[in-house]
Structure 1
Amino acid sequence: MKFRKAGLAAASVLTLALTVSACGDGGKKDSGSGGTDGGGKDSIKIGIKYDQPGIGQKTPDGFAGFDVDVATFVAKELGYDEKNIEFVETPSADREQALSRGDVEFIAASYSINDEREKLVDFAGPYLLAHQDLLVAADSDIAKGTDLNGKNLCSVTGSTSAQNVKKTIAPKANLKELSTYSECIEGLASGSIDALTTDDSILAGYASQPANKGKFKLAGLKLSNENYGIGVKEGNTELKDKINKALEKMVADGAWDEAVKKNFGPANYKNEPAPKIGNIVK
C-alpha cells in the first residue's frame, strides 16, 4: 500500500513538472519570420539587395544603404528591435516568389512598382522616385539623344530597366542580362559593354565607390520613372497599411531626408522630393 502511494506521489510530481515546463516559455515570443503587426514574434525577415552601394549592400560591418534604413525604420514602427531584424538577399528575379513562399515579411530592394508586379504582390509606398539612366566610362560620348540601338548594354535579369530597354528604349541594343549589377560593372570596366543601365540612385552608389571614382559617370538621362515601393504578400492589406503609416512618419519627422543625405550625398545624387503615399508617377 505504501508502495502504491509513493508511485502516485511520483506521478503527481512528474505531471506538475511537465505542466510547469510547458508553461515556462509562455512569456517568450516565437522566433522566426515576423508577424504582420510586430506583435507576437521576436524577429522579422526583410528582403533587400546585397550588392547595391547606397541602396542595399552587405558589408563587413553589417548592412548599409537607403533601402536598409527605410526597412529598419519601418520594422521598428511595426514593433521590432533592430537587433531582431534579419535581412535576406532577394535578387530581382526572385522577389515575387520570395513573398509568395513566405521567405520574407516584406521587401525593400529598389523594387519599382509597375502593373505587372501589382498583379502578383501588393505595394506600400512609394518611398522614392528614381529614374532609369546609364552609367558609362568617364570618357564616353554617350549622352542625351544618343541612339542606343546597336550598343552593348547591361542590366540585371528580371529588372524593370532590362524590360524598358527591350520594349521601348532600345529594342535593337545588344542587351546582356546578368545576375547582379556588380557583374555589369566588371564588363563596363573591361570595355566589353558600353553602358550599365538601371536606376540613377543605384548607379550613383556604384559611381561613388572609392574603387570606381573617376572611372565612370552618369549620362544624366531620365529614361523612365521608377517608383520604389515596399512589396508585401498579395492580399496582406493590414501590413501594407501599417507600412504606409510608418513611411509617412519617416518623412514627417525628417528621418527620410537624413537617410537620403547619408546614403546619396557622397555621389551628389540629385534626388526627387519624398513622394506621397499612393502617388505613382508614370
Structure 2
Amino acid sequence: MTALVCALGCLFSLSACGTDKEAGKIRIGIKFDQPGLGFKKAGTYVGFDVDVAQYIAEKMGYGEDDIIWKEAPSKQREAMLQNGDVDMILATYSITDERKKAVSFAGPYLVAGQDLLVRKGDHAISGPQDLNGKRLCSVTGSTSAITVKKKFSKEVQLMEQPGYAECATALFSGIVDAVTTDDIILAGLASASRGRLEVVGQPFTQEYYGVGIKKGDKALAAKINAALKDMIANGSWQRALESNTQGANFKPNPKYNPPVPNEGE
C-alpha cells in the first residue's frame, strides 16, 4: 500500500519520491562559483562557507559524507528554504530585515563590506565617490545590487548577471568599469584572476553573513549558533578564514570580526 501511495504521488510531484537518497542526510545550499567561499572544483566543494557549514554539520552529528551540497544562486535562496529544498544555506547570505520576512537566520559568522573590483592599474575608481558615469556589474538578487540601486541609481549604469564569474568576464572585456559586491568575494575573484584584477579596498557597507534557515526555526538557530561560537572560540574559524583567503590580500574588519552569533534564537 505504501509503495502504491508513493507511486501515485510521484505522478503528481517529481520531487515527492526522489528523496530516499537524502534520508539521514543534511542538505546545505552554497555558492558554486565564488572562489574562497563556495566553489565547486572537480566534484569537490571548497571555501570558507563550505568549511563553516561542515563544522556546523559535524557538531549536529553529520559526517562529511552525510552532507548533500546544493547550489544556491542569490535570487533563489529564499525559495529554496521555503520549499524545503535545503535545511540551511551558507552562501554569502547577508542578514536583512527584508529577507527576514521570508526566512530566518542563525549567525552571523562573518561581517564583510561591499567594495569594488577593477582592472589592475586602473586608478579611475578609488572608491564609491568615483562612480559617477561608471558602468558596474553585480549579481541579480544580491544585497550589493540592491545597494547600488538605492545609493547610486542616478550615477551609474548597473548590469546584473546570474553569477560573479560573468561579472568578472564583463570587467575583463571592458564592458563594465567595476564589479561590486562584498570584499571577501571580490578578494577571491582577484586572487583567481592571477593579478589582472584588484580590490579597491574602500568598503562602504557592513554585510552580516548569516546561515539561512526556514522561518521560525529557533531550535535549529540555537544549534547553529552554538556550533559557530565553538568554532570561533577554539580558533577553527580564524584558521578557516586564513586558509581560504591566502594570497587574496583580504583582512576582515577587526571592529566587527569575529562576530557574535546570536541571531534567530
- Pairwise mapping of residues 69-84 of structure 1 onto structure 2 (< 5 A)? 69-84=51-66
* Partner Cα distance (2:25, 2:171) in 1: 39
Number of equivalent positions: 241
- For 2:140, the equivalent position in structure 1 comes to 157
- For 1:5, the equivalent position in structure 2 comes to none
One-letter identity of the residue aligned with 1:192:
I
Q: Which moved more, 1:163-172 or 1:47-56?
A: 163-172
How far off is 1:170 after superposition?
4.6
- For 2:13, the equivalent position in structure 1 comes to none
* Partner Cα distance (1:255, 1:105) in 2: 23
RMSD of the TM alignment (CA)?
1.5
- For 1:51, the equivalent position in structure 2 comes to 33
* Partner Cα distance (1:205, 1:171) in 2: 29
**SS of residue paired to 2:115:** strand
Q: Deviations over 1:125-152 (max 9, x none)?
A: 1000100000000121210363313211
**SS of residue paired to 2:126:** coil
Do 1:98 and 1:104's aligned partners in 2 also have CA atoms closer than 8 Å?
yes
One-letter identity of the residue aligned with 1:201:
I
**SS of residue paired to 1:246:** helix
Do 2:27 and 2:68's aligned partners in 1 also have CA atoms closer than 8 Å?
yes
How far off is 1:31 after superposition?
5.0
* Partner Cα distance (1:171, 1:50) in 2: 33
How far off is 1:61 after superposition?
5.0
Do 2:115 and 2:183's aligned partners in 1 also have CA atoms closer than 8 Å?
yes
Which consecutive residues of structure 2, in runs of 5 or more, have no partner in the other structure?
A: 1-18
2:90 counterpart of 1:108: yes
How far off is 1:265 after superposition?
2.1
Do 1:32 and 1:44's aligned partners in 2 also have CA atoms closer than 8 Å?
no
**SS of residue paired to 1:175:** strand
Do 2:128 and 2:204's aligned partners in 1 also have CA atoms closer than 8 Å?
no
Q: Which moved more, 1:257-266 or 1:152-161?
A: 257-266
- Which structure: larger Rg? 1
Counting aligned pairs with the same residue, the percent is 49
**Structure 1 stretches of 4+ moved >2 Å:** 30-33, 144-147, 169-172
One-letter identity of the residue aligned with 2:262:
G
- Pairwise mapping of residues 200-279 of structure 1 onto structure 2 (< 5 A)? 200-209=183-192, 212-272=193-253, 273-278=257-262
2:156 counterpart of 1:173: yes
- For 1:197, the equivalent position in structure 2 comes to 180
- For 2:111, the equivalent position in structure 1 comes to 129
What TM-score, normalized by structure 1, do the two folds share? 0.82
Do 1:48 and 1:108's aligned partners in 2 also have CA atoms closer than 8 Å?
yes
* Partner Cα distance (1:89, 1:171) in 2: 34
* Partner Cα distance (1:274, 1:145) in 2: 26
How far off is 1:249 after superposition?
0.6
* Partner Cα distance (1:31, 1:252) in 2: 37
**SS of residue paired to 2:129:** coil
How far off is 1:84 after superposition?
1.3
* Partner Cα distance (1:101, 1:61) in 2: 26
* Partner Cα distance (2:245, 2:154) in 1: 31
Q: Deviations over 1:194-233 (max 9, x none)?
A: 0000000000001111xx1221111111111000000000
Do 1:153 and 1:173's aligned partners in 2 also have CA atoms closer than 8 Å?
yes
Do 1:251 and 1:274's aligned partners in 2 also have CA atoms closer than 8 Å?
yes
**SS of residue paired to 1:124:** strand
How far off is 1:266 after superposition?
1.7
Which consecutive residues of structure 1, in runs of 5 or more, have no partner in the other structure?
A: 1-29, 34-40
Do 1:124 and 1:241's aligned partners in 2 also have CA atoms closer than 8 Å?
yes
Do 1:106 and 1:230's aligned partners in 2 also have CA atoms closer than 8 Å?
yes
**SS of residue paired to 1:223:** coil
One-letter identity of the residue aligned with 2:188:
G
What TM-score, normalized by structure 2, do the two folds share? 0.87
Do 2:116 and 2:127's aligned partners in 1 also have CA atoms closer than 8 Å?
no
